[in-house]
Structure 1
Amino acid sequence: MAALDARLQVERAAFRLDLSLTAAPGEVVALLGPNGAGKSTALRALAGLLPLTAGHLSLDGTLLEDPASGLHTPAEERPVGVVFQDYLLFPHLSALDNVAFGLRCRGLRRTAARTEARPWLERMGLADHALARPGSLSGGQAQRVALARALAVRPRLLLLDEPLAALDARTRLDVRSQLRRHLAEFEAVAVLVTHDPLDAMVLADRLVVIEDGRQVQAGTPADIARHPRTDYIARLVGLNLYRGTADGHTVTLPDGTALSTADELTGPAFVSFPPAAVTLHRGRPDSSARNAWPLTVAGLDLHGDQVRVDLTGPLPLAADLTPAAAAELDLAPGTEVWAAVKAAQTHAYPA
């Protein structure tokens, strides 16, 4: 039986969320989507901070919310822990008392709450910072205090709202690794809200991609990365993506452009390939590539140690080149080039 079983329907002035969400005990689910997709609305609804307009929310077989019957369990009465984006630590309390705060809200006296909170700080590697106040902690340390506070009340549902967004790049690497370890030890359900694909891919067992208040794709990180089904997901995982109709090893797009693929299909299909699979030439290529199009450079940008070239024309696409290759081709906005992709480097799958 699913530990979390929810149909989150929320009507707001100019927005409607309609999302079904289930999770097994010990599962980490990431809600991934662009700004305004409904991720934070879903998290607030799960926490009880935003009432459902319709649907239901059940946790470990206990119904927490059912608008049809008027049931709405208040946020403070739900077995839910939340780690907010900016952590919301109390600046006047020590790290230990911040962790103990939720326990005191559950009725424990100060001494007992501190006694129970201390092992959580030790688990986070912060035993030496028990008396420190948030202002003297690093971003990574503050994040771990917030996580310890959320876990100390032994929630059955842990909600993490962009938990790494406030960290610098170097700290983020370390804290992401630590967070993954802590989530692996968590026995209940964790729901992570993020717009960062790397956070989602590393931390989650399953991704639920939301656009415009609805699920557009769900699956394991590997499946999502290999089979994107929307332009947003394709951009996240770094692929060029097209939809058309397959007939054998050819997929024809709505405008008539044909792509040769290594995969054999019939019917509606997607075709994807990475920017690194694209080669650029100043003239028509004399190569074995069966896919070649005359395109125009629309822009260039550094993408890691590569140059990402955005191209427009019959088949708008992105190509990744080494800086040396980009310089040799003398690329600039407006430059006309030929782009080629070998069929063996494309991937076609049913739409």
Structure 2
Amino acid sequence: MTTDVTVRGAGPRVGAPLLDAHLVVDRGSFRLDLPLTVNPGEVVALLGPNGAGKTTALRALAGLLPLSAGHLTLAGRDLDHPGRRLWSPPERRPIGVVFQDYLLFPHLTALDNVAFGPRRQGLHRRAARERAADWLDRMGLGEQARRRPRQLSGGQAQRVALARALAVEPALLLLDEPLAALDARTRLDTRAQLQHHLAAHPGATLLVTHDPLDALVLADRLVIVEHGRVVQEGDAAVITAQPRTDYVARLVGLNLYRGHATGHAVTLPGGFELTTGDPHGGDVFVAFPPSAVALHPDRPDGSPRNTWPATIGGVQRHGDNLRVQLTGPIEVAADVTPLAAAQLRLAPGRPVWAAVKATETRAYPAAPPPDRREPSDGDTHA
């Protein structure tokens, strides 16, 4: 994946965690069980499919949902600890939130929207407005201070919402899909601006998103949740190089299989065998990009060690190429150029041969499969 914006992933910054939490929330048959730490100045992205528990985690941190068990400690202060019958309401938590739809007060100007939080903290009206004006200047919005939300562009509204969240000087900044409401062009520019402001924030930041590019660009560390539990955690380099679930593999654009390795041979469930470049023993993952899959009208001659008959399941545009979904002994995605697709006359139902060189694959040890729990209807937000 490429971007014009520098990808983060420098890792956590030195020091004790500012946020130290174990979020356990029961919602019907769904349970969120999420250990989570964020260091001062660190940006952590929480990713997962719909129903994974991201929204539940955000609401628990913000104080909109009480914990069923576990604890939530921020800047050395216990905010939620069921075992001690301790819970702090949202307005008493040193937390700033940027909501997906921004939720700016429509009847207030940009200046008064930003000043609202400091006023609630007890700051005098004049001092609160001076702080708000300073934050709008930092966001490049000084000239928009007297405008109401309906008079702002999407990118401007997002920056006002960010200024409002930061004006309360939060120990923890929560970003709920902060770029989702923007069009592609505005999103690119606003992402770069957001990256700059997050780098200057001394507190902890948690970014909840379903967009891998937002996570890779903005976050130092990624936490992947599925079915209410962490399935993978690490910086961008680790996550993209060694995905451990189908969801993560799709997120970073790789084909992923789990099997049992004996030397260079990896046997997958069902008996299909892949040959890899590096020898292993025991349970492993095998990953390779769609671009590594070559398609042929007939069985190819030559060097590919992994060759099998397949059937075209679907063809979709993917950037400048076409993404071809293949069925057969294994399901696989392949990227081909439009010229190659025309020469092969690719269409659903057409038989082809697929080939992947062993040197194009990556094999690495597999952890035990995660404990899978089905989400309830009460946690279906991304």
TM range (shorter): over 0.9
Q: Could you tell me which amino acid in structure 1 is paired with residue 342 of structure 2?
A: A
- 1:85 corresponds to 2:119: no
- 1:13 corresponds to 2:28: yes
- 1:331 corresponds to 2:346: yes
> 1:246 matched to which residue of 2?
261
Residue 83 of structure 2: SS of its match in structure 1? Answer: coil
- 1:350 corresponds to 2:357: no
Instruction: Give structure 2 stretches of 5+ with no counterpart.
Output: 1-15, 367-382
> 1:296 matched to which residue of 2?
311
- 1:186 corresponds to 2:204: no
Q: Could you tell me which amino acid in structure 1 is paired with residue 118 of structure 2?
A: L
**Percent of residue pairs identical:** 68
Q: CA deviation at 1:203?
A: 0.6
Once the two structures are superposed, the pairs formed by residues 158-177 of structure 1 within 5 Å of their partners are 158-177=173-192
Cα displacement string for residues 122-170 of structure 1 (whole angstroms, at most 9, x for unaligned residues): 1101011111111011100000000000000100000000000000011
Instruction: Give structure 1 stretches of 5+ with no counterpart.
Output: none
> 2:225 matched to which residue of 1?
210
Cα displacement string for residues 182-233 of structure 1 (whole angstroms, at most 9, x for unaligned residues): 1111111000000111111111101110111111111101110110000011
Q: Could you tell me which amino acid in structure 2 is paired with residue 5 of structure 1?
A: D
On the 8 A contact 1:10/1:17 being kept in 2, the answer is: yes
TM-score (norm 2): 0.91
Take 1:115 and 1:308, find their aligned partners in 2: how far apart are those partners? 53
> 1:112 matched to which residue of 2?
127
> 2:373 matched to which residue of 1?
none
Q: RMSD of the TM alignment (CA)?
A: 0.7
Take 1:90 and 1:4, find their aligned partners in 2: how far apart are those partners? 29
Residue 195 of structure 1: SS of its match in structure 2? Answer: coil
On the 8 A contact 1:100/1:114 being kept in 2, the answer is: yes
Cα displacement string for residues 223-272 of structure 1 (whole angstroms, at most 9, x for unaligned residues): 10110000011011100000001111111112111111111211110000
Q: Could you tell me which amino acid in structure 2 is paired with residue 225 of structure 1?
A: T
On the 8 A contact 1:293/1:315 being kept in 2, the answer is: no
> 1:272 matched to which residue of 2?
287
Take 2:183 and 2:249, find their aligned partners in 1: how far apart are those partners? 26
Residue 68 of structure 1: SS of its match in structure 2? Answer: helix
> 1:223 matched to which residue of 2?
238
- 1:66 corresponds to 2:81: yes
Take 1:142 and 1:288, find their aligned partners in 2: how far apart are those partners? 56
On the 8 A contact 1:273/1:345 being kept in 2, the answer is: yes
Residue 111 of structure 1: SS of its match in structure 2? Answer: helix
Q: CA deviation at 1:287?
A: 2.2
Q: Could you tell me which amino acid in structure 1 is paired with residue 76 of structure 2?
A: G
Matching residue within 249, 255, 266 for 2:270: 255
Take 2:269 and 2:221, find their aligned partners in 1: how far apart are those partners? 32
Matching residue within 295, 314, 332 for 2:329: 314
Cα displacement string for residues 299-327 of structure 1 (whole angstroms, at most 9, x for unaligned residues): 00001111000000012100000111001
Take 1:11 and 1:65, find their aligned partners in 2: how far apart are those partners? 15
> 1:46 matched to which residue of 2?
61
Q: Identify which of structures 1 and 2 has the higher relative contact order when contacts are C-alpha pairs closer than 8 Å and 6+ apart.
A: 2
> Runs (4+) of structure 1 moved beyond 2 Å?
none
Take 1:15 and 1:255, find their aligned partners in 2: how far apart are those partners? 31
Matching residue within 43, 51, 63 for 1:28: 43
Q: Could you tell me which amino acid in structure 2 is paired with residue 341 of structure 1?
A: V
TM-score (norm 1): 0.99
Q: Could you tell me which amino acid in structure 2 is paired with residue 348 of structure 1?
A: A
